Amino acid sequence: MAHYERLGFATRVYHGGGYGFATRDGIEIHLGVVPAQDQRVNGAYLFVDDADVLAEEWRSAGVEVHPPQDTEWGQQEGAVVDPDGNVIRFGSPM
């Protein structure tokens, strides 16, 4: 949860335990506890107005950001990986 707070999300814990929420700019990511032996990689995609601006904001917060790159499908996309290995990709139109 602290990682997502550094990324500018408001977070809240589910009072029943084992679950939480991260909310920002009208989107909500649901975060669940996964057993340590589960090696699945989960991911999400955030459509944003300007991928470069978001990447710089997150770098300034001390997060390692894979910088946005132009894609052949007309998006500029970057990514971050949270401490649990979840890949959060983000992109904006080129």
Dihedral sign for Cα atoms in the order 19, 22, 27, 32: negative
Please report, for the domain that includes residue 85, its CATH number.
3.10.180.10
Each residue of 24-69: pLDDT tens digit? Answer: 998 888 887 766 776 666 678 888 999 999 999 999 999 999 999 9
The total number of structural domains that make up the chain? 1
What confidence tier does 83 reach under pLDDT thresholds 50, 70, 90?
confident
Query: Which structural domain range is residue 69 located in?
Result: 2-33+41-93
